Structure 1
Amino acid sequence: MKTNPITNSLGSKNIAFPNVIVKTRYGNVNLKSIIENKRIIICTNPSELIPKTKEGRNRFELALKQLKKLNFHLIGFNKNTFEEHLFSVNWLNSHMEDFLVFPIYYLPKNEVKKNLEEMLSKEILIDNPIYFIDKSGITQYILNGDDIKSKNLESIVELASKMVLSDQNFANSINSLEN
Structure 2
Amino acid sequence: MKTNPIVPYLFEKNIAFPNILVKTRFGNVHLKSLIQNKRIIIYTNPSELIPKTKKEKERFELALKQLKELNYHLIGFSKNSFEEHLFSINWLNSQLEDYLVFPIFYQPQNEAKKTLEEILSKKILIDSPIYFIDKAGNAQSILNGDVLKEKGLENIVEFASKMVLTNQSFNNPNFALKN
TM-score range relative to shorter protein: over 0.9
The alpha carbon displacement at 1:171 in A equals 3.3
How far, CA to CA, are the matches of 1:152 and 1:110 in structure 2?
A: 20
Query: 1:36–1:137: 8 Å Cα contact kept in structure 2?
Result: yes
What is the RMSD computed on CA atoms of the aligned residues? 1.9
How far, CA to CA, are the matches of 1:79 and 1:5 in structure 2?
A: 29
The DSSP-based 3-state class of the residue aligned with 2:80 is coil
Aligned to 1:127: 127
How far, CA to CA, are the matches of 2:21 and 2:117 in structure 1?
A: 17
Aligned to 1:149: 149
Q: Deviations over 1:105-163 (max 9, x none)?
A: 00111111100000000000000000000000000000000011111100000010001
The alpha carbon displacement at 1:10 in A equals 2.7
How do residues 1-179 of structure 1 correspond to structure 2 at under 5 angstroms? 5-8=5-8, 10-172=10-172
Provide the TM-score with structure 2 as the length reference.
0.92
1:36–1:20 Cα change, 3 Å:
same
Where in structure 1 are there 5+ consecutive unaligned residues? none
1:60–1:163 Cα change, 3 Å:
same
How far, CA to CA, are the matches of 2:51 and 2:5 in structure 1?
A: 30
The alpha carbon displacement at 1:174 in A equals 9.7
Query: 2:132–2:139: 8 Å Cα contact kept in structure 1?
Result: yes
Provide the TM-score with structure 1 as the length reference.
0.92
The DSSP-based 3-state class of the residue aligned with 1:172 is coil
How far, CA to CA, are the matches of 2:32 and 2:8 in structure 1?
A: 23
Where in structure 2 are there 5+ consecutive unaligned residues? none
How far, CA to CA, are the matches of 2:135 and 2:11 in structure 1?
A: 21
Number of aligned positions between the proteins: 175
The DSSP-based 3-state class of the residue aligned with 2:75 is strand
Query: 2:80–2:108: 8 Å Cα contact kept in structure 1?
Result: yes
The DSSP-based 3-state class of the residue aligned with 2:162 is helix
Query: 1:13–1:141: 8 Å Cα contact kept in structure 2?
Result: no
The DSSP-based 3-state class of the residue aligned with 2:135 is coil
How far, CA to CA, are the matches of 2:167 and 2:150 in structure 1?
A: 22
One-letter code aligned to 1:162: K
